[in-house]
Amino acid sequence: MVQIGQIRRRAEGRGWDARLEAVLLLGVAAIFMANALAAVLEPHSFRSLLGGSAISRALRLHLAWWPTMVIAANDAAVALVAVAALGLRRWRRPALAWAGLWLAVAAAIKLTSVI
């Protein structure tokens, strides 16, 4: 039989986890919104990064105008979904997975631009 102390500790652990998730989601939202604004306000830095990337050159993305706008739109969407996930618990994992996947793509582009 489960005792009251065990139930309380489990509930407190879930509360702590929820607070950590909330802080992570707020951080993700802030970073992605800042990046979205940077892509709109300073698109040349994103084009420069794309121009140096082997992946981008292979896909000929560095020649097009639209990848910067896709980056801005995607980053803004990730930020908004991360904020929405604070209230909609079922969105938390998909929001974090989307952010993680996008960060992996960004890291690959960045790494191929410095190597």
Domain ranges (residues) in the chain = 21-114
Q: Which residues contact 115 (CB under 8 A, 6 or more apart)?
A: 54
* pLDDT tens profile 42-63: 999 888 888 889 898 898 888 8
CA distance 80 to 44: 24
pLDDT at residue 23, as a whole number = 93
In terms of C-beta distances under 8 Å and separation of at least 24 residues, what long-range contacts does 87-93 make, across chains too? 92/21, 92/25
Question: Which stretches of the chain score pLDDT less than 50?
Answer: 7, 11
pLDDT at residue 6, as a whole number = 56
What is this structure's pTM? 0.79
Question: What's the one-letter identity of residue 36?
Answer: A
Measure CA of the first residue to CA of the last residue in the chain; give whole Å: 59
Q: Are 76 and 85 in contact (CB under 8 A)?
A: no
pLDDT at residue 31, as a whole number = 96
